[in-house]
Every structure is written in C-alpha cells, then in structure tokens.
Amino acid sequence: MQRRQFLSSVAAAGALGALPAFAQGKPPAGPVRILVGFSAGGGTDILARIIASKLNVLWGIPVIVENKAGAAGNIAAAEAARAAPDGNTLMMGHINALGIAPALNARLGFAPDKDFTAIALVGQTPQVLVAAPKSPPTMQGLLAQLKQKPEAVSFGSSGTGSAQHLALALFEQQAGMSALHIPYKGASNVMTDLVGGQIDYAFEGMTTASPFIKGGKVKAVAQTGLKRAKAFADIPTVAEQGYPGFNASIWFGLVGPAKLPAELVARINSDVNKILAMPDVAGRLEEFGAEDGGGSPQRFDAFMRDERTKWARLIQSRGIKVES
C-alpha cells in the first residue's frame, strides 16, 4: 500500500481501531517538551520540530523541542524515562537508544521495554552506502575491493554500535567479508573525511548524506531499506544487489514515559497520525526518505520489540562492544 494512502486511511479511522472510545480525549495540559537526543539540525531534530509545530496548533499550547545531545541519544532517553507520566514530556525516539543500545550496554539507566510508552512510529529512513570520490561507486566495485584487500577497505561510522556501524556489520555478515571500521564521534566528521578521501565508504543516514550526494561530493552506491525511497528512486537497494531481505533503516517515533494514561496515548497518537497525513508534512517527510510512519501505539511497540531482537542477535554474533 502506498504511504499516503495508508496514512489517509489511518487518519480517517482515527488510527485507533483498538481504542476508538479514547480518540476524543484531552491533550496534555502543557507546556509540552519533546526531547531529542541529538544536536539541532539532524534528522531526529528536524522530524521532532515538524511534529511539534503542528501539535502546537492542534492543541493550542506550547510544544517545544529540547535538544539533549550525547551518548547516542541515551541522555535524552534517560530523562524521558524519569519524567512524570502526564504527557508534558515526550521524546522523539531513535533506533540508537530504543533499538540498539539495550544489547550494547547493560547499564543504560533506563529499560526501553519497560520505561517507555509507545505512541506512534513517525517514519523509517533508509541509510545510504556512499563512496568517496575516488572509490568505486558500484556494488560490484566495492565487492571486488573487499575480495582483493580484506579488512583494508575503510568504512567510517558515527561510532561503535551506532546504526551506521550496524549497517556495516550486517553487510559484512551477509556478504561474508570484512572491512576496516573506523568509528567517529559524529556524522559530520564521517562525511568530511569521506569527501576528503581519508576513508573509502560509509553507511550514513539519508537526511545527512543527501546534500553531499546531490552536490556531487560523494557517490551513492545503495540504500538500505527493503524498497527504494521515493525521493531517491534512482538509487538501488542493497537487497536488489544480491542481498535479499537486507534492511538497515534508521527509524524515529514518539514515545512517553511508562504508565501514560491510555486515553492520553490515544489522543496523542490520533493527532500525530493526522499530522503525518497532512500534505505539507507528507511532502517534507518524503524529501528525507522518511516513509511507513503512522498506525497504532501497538504497531510501534511491536516494531520496536522486533528491532531490539534483530539488532541484539547481530551484536552478539559479531561480538560488537561499545568503546570504553
């Protein structure tokens, strides 16, 4: 089903088949904070601000984005987990803190499966496998390099255990090859060195990589979703190029603290689904390659549980450990 058709049908039904009686519940008393675990200007921040601006209008109360950057989103997650369950503190959740981190760090200060209430999946954005200007810009060229120089072809990432690193680990596992992983402290440093040729390749979020691809500074080899994002329909997926089922998308979704009242969850979910179906919002999300958002809280909760299981298995099988 096409994304806009799906969201339109979701909005028409209130997105709450399981909880229709609560769809007209009251919004939070406010003011509302939406915590973001990354700096301003990144993909998570952009999506949070789109949602916040629309909720501000729908609810008639201040809805403010607060950036709590650090520890791959874990600082913001820990604060959100400790917040009162009144809807006045929410978080734009991200794959790092809510999907990957539990398998990497037993002492997070929060438990994603117990300390949060799923509200709505906002979107999934493919990563892009990008090549430095002098590196082969095709899957065939990359594989030939990996066969010729095992563990010498360098891949940058935003850090050990990041979504970008795990996309590489999944690729290594499925291709049966090894590359040289070089962790950085953030995506901007990865892209700077990729453009400069200090590293050969990187898996990077589509929002981050897009300006560099469009500007001709790096070359797109593949995208990591199960299907091509509409905004980047000319870039083939990894799955299309010999690795069926490969999926290493970055995802975002709205969560709150545990024990949020069901009627409040239903109201926020309903309004987020309405926002995602708005033509101007759908257009912005499509620009970033963010698709397949919307649906019930139960859908998002089940999605996160599946993601945690998937990445935990990969982390264990590849022996990935966080940097000390």
Same domain, 75 and 146: no
Domain total in the chain: 2
Same domain, 254 and 116: yes
On whether the CB atoms of residues 142 and 203 are closer than 8 A, the answer is no
Residue labelled with tokens 């403010």: 64
H-type alpha helices, 158-233: 163-175, 187-196, 206-214
For residue 323, being part of any structural domain is answered with no
Same domain, 166 and 98: no
pTM metric for this prediction: 0.85
**Region class of 57: left (phi > 0), else alpha (psi between -120 and 50), else beta:** alpha
Residue type, 177: M
Tokens in use for 116? 């949060």
Residue type, 233: A
Beta bridge mates, 36: 67
Q: Which of 252, 301, 290, 271 is nearest to 113 (CA)?
A: 301
Q: Which of 323, 321, 322, 261 is nearest to 297 (CA)?
A: 261
For residue 255, being part of any structural domain is answered with yes
For residue 324, being part of any structural domain is answered with no
Domain boundary among 215, 241, 267: 241
For CA atoms 192, 39, 105, 311, the dihedral sign is negative
User: pLDDT per residue over 264-299, tens digit each?
Assistant: 999 999 999 999 999 999 999 988 889 999 999 999
* Percentage of residues of the chain with pLDDT beyond 90: 76
Across the chain, mean pLDDT equals: 90
Domain boundary among 209, 241, 273: 241
How many other C-beta atoms lie within 10 A of the C-beta of residue 324?
A: 3
Same domain, 16 and 77: yes
* Residues 6+ positions from 189 with CB-CB distance below 8 Å: 156
**CATH code of the domain in which 226 resides:** 3.40.190.10
Same domain, 216 and 182: yes
Same domain, 119 and 132: no
Read off the pLDDT of each residue in 209-218 and give the average, rounded to a whole number.
94
Same domain, 9 and 113: yes
Phi, psi of 264 (to 5 degrees): -70, -40
Q: Which of 314, 58, 289 is nearest to 167 (CA)?
A: 314
Same domain, 55 and 157: no
b/e sequence 165-199, b meaning 16+ C-beta within 10 Å: bbbbbbbbeebebebebbbbebbeebbebbbeeeb
Residue labelled with tokens 């729908």: 58
What is the C-alpha separation between 206 and 109, in angstroms, rounded?
A: 30
Same domain, 89 and 25: yes
**pLDDT for the residue 323:** 60
Tokens in use for 251? 């995802």
Same domain, 208 and 285: no
Q: Is the pLDDT of residue 10 over 60?
A: no
H-type alpha helices, the chain: 3-12, 43-59, 74-82, 95, 101-104, 139-148, 163-175, 187-196, 206-214, 262-277, 279-287, 297-318
User: pLDDT per residue over 125-168, tens digit each?
Assistant: 999 999 999 999 999 999 999 999 988 999 999 888 889 999 99
**CATH code of the domain in which 61 resides:** 3.40.190.150
Q: Is the pLDDT of residue 226 over 50?
A: yes
Same domain, 41 and 52: yes
On whether the CB atoms of residues 195 and 156 are closer than 8 A, the answer is no
Same domain, 221 and 85: no
pLDDT band at residue 50, thresholds of 50, 70 and 90? Answer: very high
Domain boundary among 241, 269, 297: 241
Q: Which domain holds residue 310?
A: 3-125+250-318
